[in-house]
Amino acid sequence: MADDRLPSSWLQHGDRAPAIPLGLALAQMPSESPVRDAWPLLSRRLAAPRRAPRWPLALAASLVIGLLSLPASLRAPVAPAATASASGAAAERNAQLAALMSESQRLDRVLAAADTGASSATAAAMSLEYEDGLHTIDAALEANRDPARQLDLWQQRVQLLREAAAVETSRRYLASEGRNFDVALVSAY
């Protein structure tokens, strides 16, 4: 049952389906164009102004707010005057210690409220690193009763808590924008 319309050289296996050369088969196919041209949509998207990332601004704003919320005694270190009595210096040190302890409690509450438990491995590792630093400082505070050394340790503790709060603030902000904390770390560092 050979097809009389096709040349006999095109038939490969007797009466079975004809073997048409590929070029001829492609030439006989109808040309199709897309239902809708995609270029106008693509050109509008490319021409649209890109929004600048806002996380650096949010990070700077949170740091400014954090610094403004510090007690005045912490913002500008006060050097004791040469004529100040020993009791005056001790009172000033006690006032600074009280301010640092208060700031430490406030930052502890902020971090405790922000701890959701769900985070990336990088954020969890950074959190554990901050916790290890806090445990080390807390152990040194327990072991050391020297008021001058305690003041230094409380300053270190507050600074570490501020850094942890800044990381948590950045992580939360990036999550609110649908962005990844790990990617931001890689691009920033």
State the pLDDT confidence band at 11, using cuts at 50, 70 and 90. Answer: low
The answer as to whether 139 is a domain residue is yes
Asked if residue 101 is part of any domain, the answer here is: yes
Which range, of 34-38, 98-102, 107-111, 140-144, averages the lowest pLDDT?
A: 34-38
**Residue 70 to residue 99: CA distance in whole angstroms:** 9
- Identify whether the C-beta of residue 2 lies closer than 8 Å to the C-beta of residue 17: no
pLDDT bin (cut points 50, 70, 90) of residue 47 is confident
In a domain, 158, yes or no: yes
**For residues 164 and 109, what is the distance between their CA atoms, to the nearest angstrom?**
12
Q: Is residue 179 part of a domain?
A: yes
Distant-in-sequence, close-in-space partners of 53: CB < 8 Å, separation ≥ 6: none
Flag whether 61 is in a domain: no
Segment 26-37, tens digit of pLDDT: 888 877 776 777
In a domain, 12, yes or no: no
Which structural domain, as residue segments, surrounds residue 93?
Answer: 86-188
Q: What average pLDDT does the structure give for the chain?
A: 75
Q: What is the pTM of this model?
A: 0.50
Residue type, 32: E
pLDDT > 90: what percent of the chain?
7
As for how many domains the chain has, the answer is 1
CB of 94 within 8 A of CB of 127?
no
* 70 belongs to a structural domain: no
Name the token pair of 83. 């004529």
Would residue 32 count as lying in a domain?
Answer: no
